Chain A
Amino acid sequence: MSSVRVLVGTRKGAFILSSDGKRQNWQVDGPYFGGWEIYHLKGSAVNPNRIYASQASEWFGQVMHRSDDGGKTWQTIGNEFVYRGEVGTHQWFDGSIKPWAFRRVWHVEPSPTDADTVFAGVEDAAIFRSTDGGQTWEELSGLRRHGTSADWHPGAGGLCLHTILLDPHHAQRMFVAISAVGAFRSEDGGESWKPINRGLKSDYIPDPEAEFGHCVHRIAMHPARPQVLFMQKHWDVLRSDDAGDHWYEISGNLPSDFGFVVAVHAHEPDTVYVVPIKSDSEHYPPEGKLRVYRSRTGGNEWEALSNGLPQQNCYVNVLRDAMAVDELDPCGVYFGTTGGQVYVSPDGGDHWQAIVHDLPAVLSVEVQTLP
């Protein structure tokens, strides 16, 4: 019988939540790396027992871990993220110029075809690749050397590359997203990159339709239809039908189109999930009601999903890497909150239950579907 393993990164450690395919009864293991901030964990689709974890700290810098037994034991792996060639500069909040400086790994993305290959999205914005299971890392510097990069500047969360999508149909095609900069696409395995922000409108930048400067919070795709992308931007939920060349808004009847997460149903490419947040200054759900919104039409028409979620006095946030879906049928949907809850819906969003209530603030949620 199939089972699921939910990988949860929090402000104070990692947790692994396990259940059989019914997803009703859960085993909670952890904390792993207790006391440390775990930005993200993700398992390899090729070898599900191989899991990569990013542990970051203002005190002690970046540490990377790998497990080869499904999270039971861990070993430290390479933590040298050295920008390739000339470091270059970018803008700072006050208009001054800063050299690129590595701060932390926000996101790890294992290759869907090779368990030893894994990508890392980092702050200051860059993408790195390892082909030896994370022992060594090499920057794919074409992104940071893009002609616009000297004018990139950080958002409040830092100049972070937080989203990496690998196109399962085109081995050389990749997408990334950077806060306060935008989305980019590579057609050559990460050697060169093109901004894909046409159609984005952001009133908080001088030219609302500029080529870059947009605060993209998250991008998602369905593996069967990778040319269709869904985006949760700082404000606005958007869709592209041509691999990012053009975007159009699909916020429709959402109560707020601000938010961080967006996810796509595992078996229905036009079923999309977001968690609306009240505003960019009030990072909690509208009306104190935690509601996931689902569109079954690829956007614009959204229904509130609230069965089992708190509908009063709820003021948590759901961060950009904290929503995921499993591959079971019916599809399970998961998300974690800054209040330390991890919720699951084993029926595509119709009913929700908290797997755990009181973890540290959740930074990331990933799901592995195991045979």
Chain B
Amino acid sequence: MIRVVLPAHLRLLANINGEVQLDLSPPVTPRRIVDEIERCYPALRGTIRDVQTQQRRAYVRFFACREDVSFADPDQPVAPPVAAGEEPFIILGAISGG
């Protein structure tokens, strides 16, 4: 199972406790992860990426295995530990200072 960590605001919106577990066959890519999240949790449609453009929202980042993969090709497979469920795919909202 693919493990996904969502920001608190989105967990609240979709009534999710803890990590999300996704059953995805290979290849596991950022685009397919977000596709599956939106399928399983329709309330999150449009919150991680724009519905029309499919562009990741500017204040949302993707982390995997301690690397920022926000700007990686969304159709390239994620790191093997994420695909194996050993590490989570982290979707993060930008920190707001002040």
Contact = CB atoms under 8 A, between A and B. Distances in A.
A104 to B, nearest CB: 12
Interface string B1-36: 000000111101100000000000000000000000
29 contacts: A33-B12, A33-B13, A35-B12, A36-B9, A36-B12, A59-B7, A59-B9, A59-B57, A59-B59, A59-B60, A59-B93, A59-B94, A60-B7, A60-B9, A60-B10, A60-B13, A60-B48, A60-B57, A60-B59, A60-B60, A60-B93, A61-B50, A61-B57, A62-B46, A63-B13, A79-B46, A79-B51, A80-B46, A80-B52
Q: A57, A60, A79: which has the most chain B beta carbons within 10 Å? A: A60
Interface residues of B, number: 20
Interface string A51-76: 00000011111110000000000001
A34 interface: yes
B51 A35 contact: no
Contacts of B8: 35
A60 B51 contact: no
Nearest to B60: A59
Contact of B45 (A35, A57, A79): A79
A282 to B, nearest CB: 22
B98 interface: no
Contact of B43 (A35, A59, A63, A82): A63
Q: Across chains A and B, which 3 residue pairs bring their CB atoms closest together, nearest first?
A: A60-B47, A76-B43, A59-B59
A34 B12 contact: yes
Interface in A79-105: 79-80, 82
Contacts of B47: 60-61, 63
A366 to B, nearest CB: 22
B42 to A, nearest CB: 7
Nearest to A102: B52
A63 B46 contact: yes
Pick the most buried of B13, B45, B59: most chain A CB atoms within 10 A of its CB: B13
* Chain A interface extent, by class: 10 to 19
Contacts of A57: 9
Given A60-B7, A63-B43, 5 more contacts: A57-B9, A60-B60, A61-B57, A63-B46, A79-B45
A135 to B, nearest CB: 11
Given A60-B47, A63-B46, A76 B59 contact: no
Contacts of B59: 58-60
A63 B51 CA distance: 12
Nearest to B51: A80
Contacts of A61: 46-47, 50, 57
Contacts of A62: 46
Contacts of A63: 13, 43, 46-47
A287 B93 CA distance: 41
B10 to A, nearest CB: 6
Nearest to B49: A61
A64 to B, nearest CB: 10
Interface string A9-46: 00000000000000000000000011110000000000
A72 to B, nearest CB: 15
B42 A76 contact: yes
Contacts of B12: 33-36
B70 to A, nearest CB: 14
Contacts of A76: 13, 42-43
Contacts of B42: 76
A60 B11 CA distance: 12
Contacts of B51: 79-80
A82 B52 CA distance: 8
B33 to A, nearest CB: 16
A209 to B, nearest CB: 39
Nearest to A55: B13
B19 to A, nearest CB: 18
A34 B7 CA distance: 14
Contacts of A82: 52
Most chain A beta-carbon contacts within 10 A, residue among B7, B50, B52: B52
Contacts of A58: 59
Interface centre among A57, A59, A80 (most CB of B within 10 A): A59
B37 to A, nearest CB: 13
A258 B69 CA distance: 48
A76 B47 CA distance: 12
